[in-house]
Structure formats: C-alpha cells, structure tokens
Amino acid sequence: MWHAQTTRLTVRLYDPGLGYADKAPFRAVAQVDLLGDGKAYIHAALANGQPISASEWRSLARMLRDEWGVMCIESERHGKPATFDAVRV
C-alpha cells in the first residue's frame, strides 16, 4: 500500500480581500519544506514591492502551526541561519 505525504508548500501573500481564487497578483511568495516532527524550512522568499512585515511573517507561522502542525521554523538569510518558535505566535 502506498502512502503520500505532503513535504513542500508554495505559500503566497495577498493584499487583504484578495486571494488565489481571484487570480490576484501576490505580494510575496516562498517555499516551505515540511521536514517532519513539527519542523519546517522556509526558503526562496520573494516580495514584489514592499517587504514582508513582521506581523505577516507571524501570520504565516500561525497558519503553518494551525494547519500543518509546525512548531519550529528554520530559515537562512544572507548566509545566517535562523530558528523561529511557531508555538508562541
């Protein structure tokens, strides 16, 4: 018997009131690798125009926690690794 597991997400940030179903242009996009055991790695983030705010990153962390069970988020920016606790957002 086969088992399929989601291991990668493409996440997109839209302006309030708009979304994927509207075929609206996204403000930012990133790849999220679901590593298992409540961990995720965010990479290939790209903002179109204004930078992604801290509150928007927290919103993504809450979504990953609530919908995918992610408790720890890892990333790297300009060669510096970072770890973010998704439990306390």
Average pLDDT for 19-43:
96
Q: What is the pTM of this model?
A: 0.90
Q: In the numeric block, which tokens belong to residue 6?
A: 């989601």
Q: In the numeric block, which tokens belong to residue 2?
A: 């086969």
Question: How confident is the model at residue 49, as a pLDDT?
Answer: 87
pLDDT at 24 over 90: yes
User: Which of 18 and 88 is assigned the larger pLDDT?
Assistant: 18
3-state secondary structure of 24: coil
pLDDT at 56 over 90: yes
Instruction: Indicate the domain borders of the chain.
Output: 8-85
For residue 17, give Cα distances in angstroms to 8, 26, 31, 62, 71: 26, 12, 23, 19, 28
